[in-house]
């Protein structure tokens, strides 16, 4: 052995090379911190944008208004026959609204040259439908005067939220300055104002003529039924497949091919599953268009590889000594798997499943092709079968749909929908993290 | 255990429903994104006022909708196709091939196509000639056919400001594109005399000359938008020089962001369109599969409700949203009431 060259420096004083190495280490740390800061900054900007643009959707402007339910307009024959009352369409209710607003204006003493019909234009088109539904539910109220809380037009709502200003309406045909004067007077009177908007969370979609009435509720139910289908199919199939592949299947070229294909499937773009769903479930199996069942089946195909991969990983992480011990005391292969390996792998499997579900919940592309994106304003389903079969949308599809529409009020609702979707995703991921923390065993 | 139960019951439901899927009880509509807002307004009011469920309305463009419409007859095909143009012979043939023979054509009204740019930008007064000269692939310069050399609007027309040419026009799957080609580009082609030159170049073949007219430049000055008008609006917001093609109703909902250009000196509005003064307008249609009437509950009622005076009339909600109502609505109502299919067939 050659002798070590004599060091000329001291351990207490850094020589040039050590300095260089230390410098490069601290530079690397700085790069890391910079990378994380950029990531955090992006996240902050994203969250700030979403919340600042979407928070408005959770509040809506309402007008409290007493309405005379005139019997000669709503029930001409006066015999309170529900079928006859039904014949009066929402258009027949519109005059009641203008009359009510005219009376209100006179009562408060607002001076305006607006015609009653123009006054009623500050109300939502949904108001007449709301009134009609109320009368159909309670025909005995015809002839009385009751106080209602109506949605206002999206322009009025935008005025209260600062989206619409007196300057911006110069060319707008949907509202004029005089109507805004009326709105100001009604705000001063206290009958018009913003309130928490529960309908946004529970309601159904609305047409372009009344963005103020649109809600996420029915789309949420659609998403729920799709997730139910995904859970009911992907979990048992995925777990069974991975247990067989991991514990029982012989290791040969066939299983190798299967393994490679599963990994490839996990990376297939989701739109491909949509095309497959259209071809197989709708065109071949004749399942209905726009049904959450079909959406669920398509998303099951998409989620299966994710679940199989995570299940196999958690089965693999159970040490072989557990299996050996079980086999050693006389358990059969199946007993060793179901009594010992599976319970130990369960937290990992559940985590993988929840993350797979969260991914499926946020998926829009495959739904485009099976008719779940569009104007789907159904009522909430009344049974499990109709929940699966009757047309419905899904949360991300609803957001996409709103973002496309002309009225800027829908844009706000799209952002609001993103907030709701994010709350669901964060909750699901938090549950996954908690499960892992609580039950995962380290060896 | 509960999972296996859940899984089997779900599978059972799936199996049962696969056989019982023959019970669709709501009308399914797809097609033009221009007609979508009107169709959804009607669908909503229909769901409110009738005991039938609210129809499902999807968009995707006229061609896409008609393609799905022509896929065949049966519960898993759509009942109504919305279109911002007339159905083509080729599409009728495709329909017939798949057994879709009796089709009721319903014209709901007119829609204007407007040219709009950023509200704070320059104001334009266009003519079809300007658009042809700005966007066509081949133009006439000094009596010669040349590849379009223009890059700024003031080169196209000396009255215009020196703004870069950047147009956002609907993609080919939209019915709006066809109207734009026919009423603006082709009209401009004829007016500038390029038509004659192109005819010469094509050996007198008029069809080929027309095709050459509507071939637009592909150097990025004209961008096809395959999405909806919201995408066109977003492009203009990010590129202030951009000029986009919109439906009148879309523009009227976004007057705080867009300013509209006049065409041949006429400002687009429901009045100028219904009087015929504004040149770029087109009828809107929906097509009903006659074979589905009586099978899908509410289909005929939906079609009748759509063209009823209180909906599609001049004071109805559709006109309020931007539709120019059809003066011959009564004739349309009769067509729907009698279920008169196209081509005189019953």
Convert the pLDDT of each residue in B49-77 to its tens digit.
Answer: 888 889 999 887 888 889 989 988 888 88
Q: From the list B40, B253, B254, which residue is nearest A207 (CB)? A: B40
- CB contacts, 8 Å: B17 with chain A: 287, 293, 385, 388-389
Domain boundaries, chain B: 23-110+283-344, 112-281
- Interface contact flag, A287 B7, Cβ < 8 Å: no
Q: Helix (H, G, I), strand (E, B), or coil: what is residue A377?
A: coil
Chain B nearest CA to A191, separation (Å) = 27
pLDDT at residue B93 in the model:
93
* Common-topology check for domains B23-110+283-344 and B112-281: yes
- CB contacts, 8 Å: B227 with chain A: 404
Average pLDDT over residues B194-202: 84
pLDDT of A65 strictly over 60: yes
- Interface contact flag, B28 A290, Cβ < 8 Å: yes
- Interface contact flag, A172 B255, Cβ < 8 Å: yes
Chain B nearest CA to A119, separation (Å) = 15
Q: From the list A377, A388, A403, which residue is nearest B230 (CB)? A: A403
Q: Taking the alpha carbons of A181, A187, A190, A196 in that order, is the dihedral positive or negative?
A: positive
User: Over the range B120-152, which residues count as b (16 or more CB within 10 Å of their CB) and which as e?
Assistant: ebbebebbbbbbbbbbbebbbeeeeeeebebee
pLDDT digits (tens, 9 = 90+) for A224-252: 999 999 999 999 999 999 999 999 999 89
Of all residues in chain A, the one with the smallest CA distance to B4 is A236
**What Rg do the C-alpha atoms of chain A give, in angstroms?**
31
Biggest alpha carbon–alpha carbon distance for chain B: 84
**Distance, CA of A376 to CA of B65 (rounded, Å):** 16
Contact A218, A205 (CB under 8 A): yes
pLDDT digits (tens, 9 = 90+) for B243-262: 999 988 889 888 888 999 99
Q: Helix (H, G, I), strand (E, B), or coil: what is residue A194?
A: strand
% pLDDT > 70, chain A: 98
State the number of CA atoms in the 13 A half-sphere of B50 facing the CB: 22
pLDDT at residue A253 in the model:
93
Running DSSP on this structure, what letter comes out for residue A293? H
Enter the pTM of the model: 0.84
For residue A423 the two structure tokens come to 């709350």
pLDDT digits (tens, 9 = 90+) for A114-133: 888 888 889 998 898 889 88
ipTM over 0.85: no
B216 contact partners, CB below 8 Å, separation of at least 6: B135, B136, B137, B169, B185, B222
**Distance, CA of B21 to CA of B17 (rounded, Å):** 5
Average pLDDT over residues A374-385: 82
- CB contacts, 8 Å: A171 with chain B: 255-256, 259
- Interface contact flag, A174 B250, Cβ < 8 Å: no
Q: Quick count: other Cβ atoms within 10 Å of Cβ A347? A: 18
Mean pLDDT of chain A: 89
- CB contacts, 8 Å: B313 with chain A: none
pLDDT digits (tens, 9 = 90+) for B110-166: 988 999 999 988 889 999 989 999 998 888 888 788 888 898 999 888 889 989 999
Q: Is B265 left (phi over 0), alpha (psi -120 to 50) or beta?
A: left
Chain B nearest CA to A172, separation (Å) = 6
What homologous superfamily is domain B112-281 in, according to CATH? Answer: Periplasmic binding protein-like II (3.40.190.10)
Average pLDDT over residues B16-33: 70
Average pLDDT over residues A409-416: 92
Residue B116's DSSP bridge partners are B244, B260
pLDDT digits (tens, 9 = 90+) for A313-348: 999 999 999 999 999 999 999 999 999 999 999 999
Does B23-110+283-344 carry CATH code 3.40.190.10? yes
Q: From the list A89, A90, A406, which residue is nearest B250 (CB)? A: A406
**Distance, CA of B305 to CA of B336 (rounded, Å):** 10
Q: For residue B51, count CB atoms less than 10 angstroms from its CB and return exposed for 0-12, middle for 13-18, buried for 19 or more.
A: exposed
- Interface contact flag, B44 A89, Cβ < 8 Å: no
Chain B nearest CA to A56, separation (Å) = 19
**What Rg do the C-alpha atoms of chain B give, in angstroms?**
23
- CB contacts, 8 Å: B267 with chain A: none
Of all residues in chain A, the one with the smallest CA distance to B43 is A207
pLDDT of B15 strictly over 80: no
Question: Going from the N-terminus, what domains does chain A have, and what CATH number goes with each?
Answer: 55-196 (no CATH), 217-439 (1.10.3720.10)
- Interface contact flag, B44 A206, Cβ < 8 Å: yes
Interface test with A, best of B39, B79, B116, B256 (most A CBs within 10 A): B256
- Interface contact flag, A288 B24, Cβ < 8 Å: yes
């Amino acid at each position: 052995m050659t002798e070590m060259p004599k060091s000329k420096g001291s351990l207490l004083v850094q020589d040039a090379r050590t300095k260089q190495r230390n410098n490069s280490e601290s530079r690397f740390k700085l790069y890391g911190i910079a990378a994380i800061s950029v990531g955090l900054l992006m996240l902050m900007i994203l969250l700030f944008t979403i919340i600042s643009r979407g928070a408005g959707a959770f509040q809506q402007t309402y007008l409290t208004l007493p309405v005379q339910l005139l019997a000669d307009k709503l029930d001409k024959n006066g015999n309170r026959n529900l079928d006859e009352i039904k014949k009066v369409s929402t258009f027949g209710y519109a005059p009641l609204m203008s009359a009510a607003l005219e009376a209100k204006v006179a009562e408060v003493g607002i001076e305006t040259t607006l015609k009653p019909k123009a006054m009623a234009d500050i109300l939502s088109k949904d108001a007449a439908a709301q009134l009609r539904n109320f009368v159909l539910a309670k025909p005995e109220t015809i002839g009385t005067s009751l106080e209602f809380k109506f949605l206002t037009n999206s322009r009025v709502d935008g005025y209260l939220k600062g989206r619409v200003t007196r300057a911006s309406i110069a060319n707008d045909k949907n509202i004029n300055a005089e109507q805004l004067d009326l709105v100001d007077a009604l705000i001063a009177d206290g009958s018009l104002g913003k309130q928490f908007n529960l309908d946004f969370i529970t309601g159904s979609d609305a047409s372009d003529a009344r963005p103020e009435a649109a809600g996420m509720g029915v789309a949420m139910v659609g998403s729920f039924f799709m997730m139910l289908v995904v859970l009911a199919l992907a979990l048992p199939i995925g777990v069974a497949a991975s247990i067989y592949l991991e514990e029982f299947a012989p290791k040969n070229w066939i299983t190798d091919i299967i393994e490679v294909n599963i990994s490839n499937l996990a990376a297939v773009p989701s739109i491909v599953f949509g095309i497959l769903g259209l071809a197989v479930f709708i065109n071949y199996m004749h399942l209905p268009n726009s049904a959450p069942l079909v959406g669920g089946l398509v998303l099951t195909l998409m989620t299966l590889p994710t679940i199989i991969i995570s299940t196999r990983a958690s089965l693999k992480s159970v040490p072989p000594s557990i299996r050996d011990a079980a086999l050693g005391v006389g358990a059969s292969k199946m007993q060793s798997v179901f009594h010992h390996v599976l319970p130990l792998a369960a937290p990992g499997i559940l985590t993988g499943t929840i993350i797979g579900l969260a991914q499926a919940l946020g998926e829009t592309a495959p739904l485009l092709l099976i008719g779940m994106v569009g104007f789907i304003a159904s009522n909430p389903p009344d049974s499990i079968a109709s929940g699966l079969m009757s047309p419905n949308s899904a949360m991300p599809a609803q957001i996409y749909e709103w973002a496309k529409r002309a009225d800027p009020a829908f844009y706000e609702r799209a952002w609001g929908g993103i907030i709701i979707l994010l709350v669901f995703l964060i909750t699901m991921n938090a549950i996954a993290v908690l499960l892992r923390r609580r039950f995962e065993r380290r060896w | 255990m509960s999972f296996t139960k859940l899984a089997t019951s779900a599978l059972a439901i799936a199996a049962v429903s696969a056989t019982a899927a023959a019970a669709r009880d709501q009308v399914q509509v797809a097609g033009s994104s221009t007609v979508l807002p009107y169709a959804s307004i009607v669908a909503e009011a229909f769901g409110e006022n009738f005991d039938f469920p609210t129809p499902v309305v999807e968009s995707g463009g006229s061609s896409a909708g008609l393609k799905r419409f022509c896929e065949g007859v049966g519960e898993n095909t759509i009942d109504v196709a919305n279109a911002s143009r007339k159905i083509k012979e080729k599409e009728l043939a495709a329909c017939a091939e798949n057994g879709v023979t009796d089709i009721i054509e319903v014209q709901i009204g007119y829609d204007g196509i407007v040219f709009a740019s950023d509200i704070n930008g320059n104001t334009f007064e266009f003519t079809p000639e300007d658009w042809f000269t700005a966007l066509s692939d081949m133009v006439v310069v000094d009596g010669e056919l040349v590849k379009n050399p223009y890059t700024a609007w003031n080169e196209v027309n000396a009255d215009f400001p020196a703004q870069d040419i950047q147009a956002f026009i609907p993609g080919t799957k939209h019915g709006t594109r066809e109207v734009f080609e026919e009423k603006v580009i082709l009209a401009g082609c004829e007016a500038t005399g390029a038509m004659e030159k192109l005819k010469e170049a094509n050996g007198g073949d008029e069809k080929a000359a027309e095709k050459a007219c509507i071939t637009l430049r592909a150097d990025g000055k004209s961008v096809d938008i395959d999405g909806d008008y919201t995408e066109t609006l977003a492009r203009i917001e990010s590129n202030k020089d951009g000029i986009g093609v919109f439906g009148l109703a879309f523009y009227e909902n976004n007057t705080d962001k867009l300013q509209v250009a006049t065409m041949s000196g006429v400002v687009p509005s429901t009045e100028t369109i219904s009087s015929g003064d504004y040149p770029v307008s087109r009828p809107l249609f929906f097509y009903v599969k006659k074979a589905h009437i009586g099978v899908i509950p509410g289909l005929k009622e939906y079609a009748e409700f759509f063209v009823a005076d209180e909906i599609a009339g001049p004071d109805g909600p559709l006109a309020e949203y931007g539709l120019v109502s059809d003066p011959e609505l009564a004739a349309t109502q009769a067509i729907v009431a009698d279920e008169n299919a196209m081509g005189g067939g019953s």
